[in-house]
Structure 1
C-alpha cells in the first residue's frame, strides 16, 4: 500500500519500553492475528517479507523496512511467508495523546513554548525504510540481549536504547516529510528564543534568516498560528514569569532583560497576558 500514514505521539508523557523479541517464520508460516493489543508493536524485518494488515490497510514489509502497528486495531496475516522471514518486534506503551494522519505534511499546529512546559511531538511513519538500518539492528540486538540481564542492571539501558531507536526512526521521517514552511517556522522559533532580549523586527529577522519577511510570517502562521512578533511577545512574557519566580530582581530589571524598554508597558502587557500584575504573580509563589 502506497499511502504514507504518520503516527504522532504528543510528549509528555514519554513512550515506555516493554520488551523486544526476534521471530523467525519458515515458508508457509505467518504472523498471528490479534485484536486490541493495547500496546504499540514495532516490526523491523531483517530477512524475507512479512505480509501483514491492520484493519483495511495491508503491507508487504521487506528486509530493512519497519511497520508500526497501533494499539486499538485488528492486526492479521495477509498471507503466509514465501521465504524464511526474520523480524524483530518491539512492544511499547504510551498513555498520552496520539494521532494518525494520512498526509505526513499534516502536522498538528505547534504551540508557543510555555515556561513550565517542554512539549514535543514524536512523528513516525507507520511504514518506513530507515536510512541507517545497521545502527537500528544493533540497537535491537542489544535490546534483545538486555532482556536476559538482571532487571535492575538492564532497565535504564533498555529505556535509553529504545529512545535512540525512536530517534533513528523519526530522523528518517523528518528528512522526507517536513515541509519547507515547517523547517523555516522552526528555524524562526529557534532564532526568536535565542534573541528574545534584543530588538528584533520582521526586517532584522528576514536579514538573519535570509528569507522574505512575508514568507516568514506565512510560515509562522501556518505552523504556530501566530506571527513572529506575536510569538516573540508571548515568549518574552513567559521568560518574565520565570525570572519573577527564580530571582529577586526588580520589575524594571526583568522588563529590560526580556526585551521591554519601558517597565509600565511591560507590566500592562504582563497583566493582560497572565491576568495579574507581575508583583501579584510573584507573590503567588512566595512564602
Structure 2
C-alpha cells in the first residue's frame, strides 16, 4: 500500500476538540463507525490496533499514529492480540482538506483567499506513520490528557498550542533531505518576492539575487507552493492590490505602480482575469 497523506489548508489551522485514553484487553477491538464528521488521530502507546478504513487496512503498533478521516467507514480488522493502549484526539478544520497518495496536493489559492482573505499554507501529514521523536519524547500527548481533566478556561489555549505543535512536527517530518532543500529554496524565493514585489522582477533578476538557475527556483516553488516564481509574484501583487483598494483611496493607476505593474491597463486586465471583477468594481463592492 503506497503512503497516504492528508493535506490541510491553513490558516485557519485545524482546531482541537477533545482527547482521551483507551485500553483494550486481548480479544477486544475498535468499534466500527461511519462518517463520524471529525478527524480521529490515534496514537498507540502499547500493543497493536488492527484497523481498516474503506479499502485500506493497518496494523498500528506502539509509537505509531493513524489518522481516521471524517467522511469514511472505519472498522476493526481483528481483535487485539495483547494489551493495547492508545490516546485518541478528535479535531476538525474549517478550511479545505484532501487525502492523496504520494505527491502533495495544492489547495486552490484563490478559493481559499475569497473565503479566508489569505493564501494558504498546505500542512501535509501522513495518514499512518511513526510519531515524530521530538513529540514522543516531550510527553505532550500525556499533557493533553491531563489538561482535559482541568478547568476548560485554563486548558483550551494550551491544548490548541500542543495540538498545533504536534501537527507542525508531523508536517516537517515528511521532508527527506532533497525535499528539505527544495523547501528551503522555495521559502527563500518566496521571501525575496514578498520583500521586492514592487520592483521590476524577472526570471534573470531572481536567479541573480538568489544565486540559482531560474529553472531550479521554478521547480522548487512548483513542488512546494504549486506555482512558479512569476505566478507567485502576480498572485502576491494582486493580493497587495486588494488591500490597497480596501484600505486606501489611491487611484487605480497609483496602485498599479505601487505594486510593480508598469501598465495600468495590464494591471486591470490581470486583476479582472484572476478576481473576476475590475479593480474599480472590487473597491465599490466594499464601499458605502
For the criterion TM > 0.5, the same-fold answer is yes
Q: Deviations over 1:179-207 (max 9, x none)?
A: 87676555433321222122322112112
Matched, 1:269 2:269: no
Q: CA deviation at 1:165?
A: 1.9
Q: CA deviation at 1:173?
A: 2.3
1:111 to 106, 109, 112: 109
Q: Is the 8 A contact 2:96 2:107 kept in 1?
A: no
**Unaligned regions of 5+ residues in structure 2, if any?**
none
Distance 1:24 1:280 in 2: 60
Distance 2:30 2:19 in 1: 16
Distance 2:251 2:33 in 1: 62
Q: Is the 8 A contact 1:64 1:133 kept in 2?
A: no
**Unaligned regions of 5+ residues in structure 1, if any?**
none
SS at match of 1:30: coil
Q: CA deviation at 1:127?
A: 0.4
Mapping of residues 2-151 of structure 1, within 5 Å: 2-103=1-102, 105-108=103-106, 111=109, 116-132=117-133, 134-135=135-136, 138-151=139-152
Q: CA deviation at 1:217?
A: 3.8
Q: Is the 8 A contact 1:268 1:277 kept in 2?
A: no
Distance 2:58 2:138 in 1: 21
Q: Is the 8 A contact 1:110 1:223 kept in 2?
A: no
Q: CA deviation at 1:118?
A: 3.2
More divergent stretch after superposition (18-27 vs 211-220): 211-220
SS at match of 2:79: coil
Distance 1:161 1:135 in 2: 12
Distance 2:227 2:153 in 1: 47
Distance 2:197 2:93 in 1: 35
Distance 2:235 2:54 in 1: 43
Scaled by the length of structure 2, what TM-score is found?
Answer: 0.81
Distance 2:241 2:175 in 1: 33
Q: CA deviation at 1:88?
A: 0.6
Give the corresponding residue for 1:189.
190
The 1:277–1:42 alpha-carbon spacing in structure 2 relative to 1, beyond 3 Å, is closer
Q: CA deviation at 1:69?
A: 0.7
SS at match of 2:260: coil
More divergent stretch after superposition (217-226 vs 30-39): 217-226
Distance 2:37 2:234 in 1: 42
Distance 2:177 2:74 in 1: 27
The 1:49–1:221 alpha-carbon spacing in structure 2 relative to 1, beyond 3 Å, is closer
SS at match of 1:161: helix
Number of residues of Structure 1 aligned to a counterpart in Structure 2: 281
Q: CA deviation at 1:232?
A: 2.1
Distance 1:46 1:272 in 2: 57
The 1:226–1:142 alpha-carbon spacing in structure 2 relative to 1, beyond 3 Å, is closer
Q: CA deviation at 1:110?
A: 6.0
Q: Is the 8 A contact 2:48 2:62 kept in 1?
A: yes
The 1:39–1:280 alpha-carbon spacing in structure 2 relative to 1, beyond 3 Å, is closer
More divergent stretch after superposition (233-242 vs 121-130): 233-242
